Structure 1
């Protein structure tokens, strides 16, 4: 736990001087989850789960939460600011905070489409949003922050603040220059894990919930990614197959997974896929 920096105090003071309202964009997939702490520290009354009312509603508890901060809830924000290394999310301000407007803004930006794939934009992760805000030109910032006037976030090393030169509503269609920002190497690995965690929750909800009764999702996922790396299974199809069928305890330890001496990575995958699917078919019969 650390002491909030001079920048955080200055930023909060400036927002108060301008009579702006505060908002926490919370990341429930952080460890520890900031949501229980927020509710334990203060009487939180105004909050929204961004995925609520979208096709990803089943992920709403794990997706971004927007939590209004007022005088009665400043204690909760102060507690968060003491632990930026937990990557609990970030703080923003608005002239007149309209939660519906802010939710609509982020719902319009939450889904990323590329080639034949899609992913959820993890704007609630301070490492992601800080990198994107720092990389954008001044005139591009309003496209990302929309109605928010200013942002305060931890970039893994220090606090940064970014002002929005033109707060407002920017409906679709809009440019997404932040998606062109290349990830840092360490953040690329973290982003991959976050994307795969979201994929598991979205596509294998029951099995993922059962897994959590046995072990940590993060620990389990790292073990699977280490396997994929050692087998040189780098394509999405290969990784998804591995994760889906490792969730099944009847299939997870079958000898068919092990590579054979004469197999290259592609031959290994084709053979293992056939044998695992056959075993799964037999288990379901």
Structure 2
């Protein structure tokens, strides 16, 4: 065991009469998720993406489990390997699992269509960064019914206590969306969001892509191209991804390349106009 803090925290929260929940980033923890699914009652867990408009991603999305066994050995593997970034622990009032899931349902989608992304609340690094930068008075709107949280911040275990657990509306301008993102993590989050967007909105073309290219390599190449061109706005990246999926052999034509002395905005507007023209011509 790297540190006994999580066990001390669990014991303390149970002594106060609180229920312990595991917020599991199950995308890379399928064995643990299956172990818990096989040993939990139906009322002891929920898939967060289920019963939402992103239900197609439910299998790869987070699950929240209530842990009612003192000295629960089912999560030893997780606590022994926090560097796998499997999620985090929280305590809630007894019976508040559905309130906790409902709280995060309201905070899942960032932005408006077509420039939407998923907020990865279940990633302990996202939680740690938010709590590091939020003032304590902003904790309740962020954590909702959570009384306390226990998480790995990349170097050691941390805990945080909400001053007023409860049900809160989403603020008009959530402070947690303004926290700075370290560059390597921002790149990974963007890749994951782009991957999930293509799965949800362009599944047929994305699956067909795998016949010719490794999807992950292709997607990383598209993101690198967007960076090189300075196409940093969500609408620009969405346009690049969709048109790349529709291009012959999933490869863009030469006229997409940036011209000398062409700014990123001028480049995007030119390609956008040309694409609209040729697509309109094809429909005539």
TM-score normalised by the chain length of structure 1: 0.80
Alignment of 1:272-283 (within 5 A): 272-273=271-272
The structure whose residues are more often helix, as a share, is: 2
Distance in 1 separating the partners of 2:210 and 2:166: 41
Q: Cα offset for 1:128?
A: 0.9
Is 2:23 the partner of 1:20?
A: no
Q: Does the residue aligned with 2:111 lie in a helix, a strand or coil?
A: strand
The change in CA–CA distance for 1:61 and 1:210 in structure 2 (over 3 A counts) is farther
Between stretches 146-155 and 64-73, larger displacement belongs to: 64-73
Aligned match of 1:155: 153
| Aligned residue number for residue 55 of structure 1 | 53
8 Å CA contact 1:251, 1:280 repeated in 2: no
Q: Distance in 2 between matches of 1:25 and 1:216?
A: 31
The answer to whether the aligner puts 1:93 opposite 2:88 as a matched pair is: no
Could you tell me which residue of structure 2 aligns to residue 39 of structure 1? Answer: 34
**In terms of mean alpha carbon deviation, does 265-274 or 71-80 score higher?**
265-274
Paired residue for 2:206? 208
213-222 vs 53-62, greater mean Cα deviation: 213-222
Instruction: Kindly provide the CA deviation profile for residues 5-50 of structure 1, in whole angstroms up to 9, marking residues without a partner as x.
Output: 2322322232233343221212234xxx213432136623332122
SS in 1 for 2:100: helix
Q: Which residue in the other structure is 1:180 paired with?
A: 178
Deviation digits for residues 207-241 of structure 1, max 9, x if unmatched? 33445677765443222111222333333333212
The counterpart of 1:133, out of the listed 131, 134, 149, is: 131
Alignment CA distance shift 1:189-1:60 (3 Å): same
Instruction: For residue 150 of structure 1, report the CA deviation from its aligned partner.
Output: 1.1
- Equivalent pair of 2:14/2:20 in contact (CA under 8 Å): no
Moved more, 20-29 or 111-120: 111-120
Q: Secondary structure at the match of 2:46?
A: strand
Deviates more, 1:99-108 or 1:215-224: 215-224
Task: Name the CA distance, whole Å, in 1 between partners of 2:83 and 2:117.
Answer: 25
Deviation at 1:131, TM superposition (A): 0.9
Q: 5+ residue gaps in structure 1?
A: none
SS state at 2:160 partner = strand
RMSD of aligned C-alpha atoms?
3.4
Partner of 1:224: 222
SS at match of 1:71: coil
The structure-2 alpha-carbon separation of the partners of 1:139 and 1:61, relative to structure 1 and needing over 3 Å to count, comes to same
More divergent stretch after superposition (13-22 vs 142-151): 13-22
Map of 1:83 onto structure 2: 81
| 2:106 counterpart of 1:108 | yes
Q: Residue 141 of structure 1 contacts residue 165 of structure 1 at CA under 8 Å; is this kept in 2?
A: yes
Q: Does the CA-based 8 Å contact 1:23-1:68 persist in structure 2? A: yes
- Which residue of structure 2 aligns with residue 199 of structure 1? 197
Q: 1:146 to 1:73 in 2, by over 3 A?
A: same
* CA deviation map 1:113-164 (0-9, x unaligned): 3798433222111111111122222222121112111111122222211112
Equivalent residues in 2 for 1:225-244, closer than 5 Å:
225-244=223-242
Question: 2 CA distance for matches of 1:102 and 1:272?
Answer: 45
> Aligned in 2, Cα 1:36/1:226: closer, same or farther, shift over 3 Å?
same
